[in-house]
A and B are shown apart, each in its own frame.
Chain A
Amino acid sequence: MLRRIAFSFFSLLVVVAVVMLLVYSLINRNVIFQMDDTWNKKSSNDRLIYEYTQYSRYGYLEYTDYTSYLKNKYEPLYGSDYTKNADFKADKDAVQDENTYTENASVQAFISEYTAKGYEIKYLAPDRSKSGKVKSGGNGYLIAIHERNVLQRLFAYMGNFFRIETTNDVTDPALTERYVRVEHDPYSGLFAVVGSGTTHKYLLYFDGRFPFIHQNWISINLGTSYTRYRGQEITTVINRPTGDQIKTRTQYPAQLGTDEYIESAIDFHSLTYNYNPRTKTEMKQFPDQYTSYTYNFSGLSMLENSFVIGLIATLIAYLFGLPLGILMARHKDGFVDKLGNLYIIFIMSVPALAYIFLFATIGTTLFNLPYKFANAEVKILAYVLPTISLSLPHVGSLMKWMRRYMIDQMNSDYVKFARAEGLSEGEIFSKHISRNAMIYLVHGIPANVLACLVGAIITESVYSVPGVGNLLTRAISGHDNGIIVACTVFYTTLSIIAIILGDLLLAKYDPRISLSDSKGGGR
């Protein structure tokens, strides 16, 4: 079993490496600027510099420029007012003259330092019009870049995959106390694990929101979105709640115990460390530097939307699909069986797009259900059609396989024996055949549940559900390499976990199956 898991994660690594290799080497990297307004507004050298900073942000290369080199040089000498220093100004302006810039000592130092580090030095000469005046955005730049290869990117990505918060996360020298301890949590009334020096203040806490216990200790970093959610982290995007803010009567941390109450949607469990010194009002509101927060929202996040719809659909599918399959097998070639087969053929052969639209038409015209998710007046009704559309094909496929396996089992010796013993047909079907037929279907249960996290591409796009199902397709149309790699990792990990869990469940359900690494087992 351990070997299996190790192999699975090895294959995950291979898949991610291949996708990264293809995406980062075959796709022209400048597609990320296709819908970028900032890029459109900039021109000349400024645009080139913007491109390099974006490339470095998205990990294509390591980039540094002469100005930040000067900042590092002069800031320790002259403090935060270093820009007013005459030496700094002289050094900075040196690059604005393409004929003499190499004579400057700082420029020479910059070039020799970064050449030694293996960087490529690029000098962008000032972009001048015919009269010799510098065009807008055409200032001269001296930069050093270092292209990263795909292997380096892969290791960097894998290295940053899990982020565990420690008390050394905050690099602010002003912070004196560093600890992690259990405290009374005034916002839930229960206890919470609170950290100082960690990025989040509350590491483990309870609240009234599903799943009621939350943690900020370990987070998964799937990477950054390039174009769709420019620069935002993908895990944040898919977990961010939607809807309206919920205002409650609450208190700022420093005002607890007083009678200063506020009507606000601030989620005080989301406090994170803020490096900017507190303002006067913040001094009154917060006892420490943990002053950044997010709000409470009424709606679900993208991931929750997809998961709720998917999970209910899967439940419906198993609740209806299995009994219907058993019923069809019991009345083989009867009316129920024929009707069921007709449904199965329809679901199996017709493109998913066609029957989802058919269900949508029936649902909206006959039952007056809301069609587009956002237009629903009663929020809960918006979930009805997507859930049903998602479960009906699933019911069909479960019916098909349950019937098939039931019929295969019906002629087994143990069934004949049970009949000879005088058991009733109902008993034979429910207690003997169906349990044996279920063996084949048990393996797929974790896969079906985990697939809910991936979302349903067509269903969500037909009903405009704000879910994760369209993350990949939207990323592809928007050339968002970050999301594409993240989706590959996310989907592949889920499918690997699903297969492993399926094996475990199968071994649990059927004692004849063993997953030990000894001879004969394992596979």
Chain B
Amino acid sequence: MSDTRMNDSMLFRFIDSNTIESEKIIAPRYSYWRSVFRVFFRKRINIVLIAIFVLIFLAAFIVPAIAPYEPYENITNALTYNLSPVKAQEYFGGFSLKWVLGTGGMGNSIFYGIMASARTSLILAVICATINMSIGILLGAVWGYSKRFDQVMLVIYNIIANVPYILMISVLVYIIGSGFWPFVFALTVTGWLSIAYFFRTQVLIIRDREYSLASRCLGTPIPRMISRNILPFLTSVTVTLLATELPSYISMEVFLSYIGVGLSADVPSLGRMIQEAQSAFIVYPWEFWPPVIIASAITIILYVVGQNLADASDPRTHM
């Protein structure tokens, strides 16, 4: 061979592995949840609404914790009944937050009342939504995946879906009593079923997509298929559902307590406050509108924020 032959040291050269270049990643950094919140907070209205909600939320938990609501504290003193905000301030001597919204039909503080009731509603909504959503999603995923389970569940669903929801809850509350926990039971004992059915349909749609088929061919076990292939795809749908479920429990509580089949009298409730004040809603508007407004404010904020979060959690909006 000739001397033109090149050796390795002529063809290759060593480079330093610690150069700054190697640290650079060509693809842009993408984090799903960070993008969700970036899109979400791009809308200024969301920040405003969340701020109001945090305010209500904190007030609903702090006010009853510091000063418990005592509806019967002035029951013996008829002079304190149905006082307007201004008169209540005068009667109880000077300004106090307690009487800022006047008094109710039993000399009770309206402000403390709506705060304690708002706390009940918020706790109720969160508990019911957690129970119904988790049972609904998990069972719905299995329901959509297993054909044998599907047959059994469809029969159960078709039977229960025929019964009007209001009827079911009213009868359940009538039978098991009307405390806080019986009420939670009534709202959750069949409440998960429609959520599970909704997820079953969604899972059915995704189950037979190509990437799922490929996964199945590779022998991925079903729990892993559900948790990795299907549920992440349903994030946006889940948030949308949560955005309608959370306020719906508050509306449901207000409605049922109003018609007298909801929470028992010892649990402060927005629905019952409205019911008690409704006969005099023209004469004593300060007793009637605060619980209505607070219930509406909570549900509107939860609904709008939830819908916007659902929009933001759809990856197609992240561009």
Contact = CB atoms under 8 A, between A and B. Distances in A.
| A, B in one complex | yes
Interface of A: 7-8, 11-12, 14-15, 19, 22-23, 26-27, 345-346, 348-354, 357, 361, 364, 454, 457-458, 461-462, 470, 472-473, 476-477, 484, 487-488, 491-492, 495-496, 499
The 9 closest A-B pairs by CB, nearest first: A349-B303, A11-B159, A351-B251, A473-B259, A351-B254, A350-B296, A349-B300, A354-B292, A349-B299
Given A353-B274, A354-B295, A477-B260, A488 B166 contact: no
B298 to A, nearest CB: 9
Contacts of B258: 353, 458, 461
B158 to A, nearest CB: 6
B304 A345 contact: yes
Contacts, number: 114
A461 B258 CA distance: 10
B299 A350 contact: yes
A15 B163 contact: yes
A499 B292 CA distance: 34
B174 A476 contact: yes
Given A351-B251, A457-B259, A473-B259, A462 B278 contact: yes
B247 interface: yes
Most chain B CB atoms below 10 A, which of A349, A361, A364, A461? A349
A473 B300 contact: no
Given A11-B162, A492-B162, 9 more contacts: A15-B159, A15-B162, A22-B175, A345-B304, A349-B299, A350-B251, A351-B299, A476-B170, A496-B162
B174 A484 contact: yes
B281 interface: yes
A22 B171 contact: yes
13 contacts: A8-B158, A15-B162, A26-B175, A349-B303, A351-B292, A352-B255, A353-B271, A353-B274, A354-B295, A357-B274, A361-B281, A476-B170, A484-B171
Most chain A CB atoms below 10 A, which of B158, B173, B174, B281? B174
A349 B295 contact: no
Contacts of B255: 351-353, 457-458
Contacts of A477: 260-261
Interface string B148-183: 000000000011101110110011011110000000
A26 B261 CA distance: 17
Contacts of A470: 259
B259 A8 contact: no
Contacts of A350: 251, 295-296, 299-300
A7 B162 CA distance: 11
B299 A488 contact: no
Given A349-B302, A350-B300, A357-B288, A19 B171 contact: yes
Nearest to B260: A477
B187 to A, nearest CB: 15
A393 B250 CA distance: 18
B303 A348 contact: yes
Most chain B CB atoms below 10 A, which of A348, A351, A462, A499? A351
Contact of A473 (B170, B254, B282, B304): B170
A357 B281 contact: yes
A357 B170 CA distance: 23
Contact of A27 (B163, B170, B174, B259): B174
Contacts of A488: 163, 167, 171
Contact of A351 (B170, B171, B250): B250
B162 A487 contact: no
B171 A23 contact: yes
Nearest to A476: B174
Nearest to A469: B259
Most chain A CB atoms below 10 A, which of B162, B171, B250, B251? B162
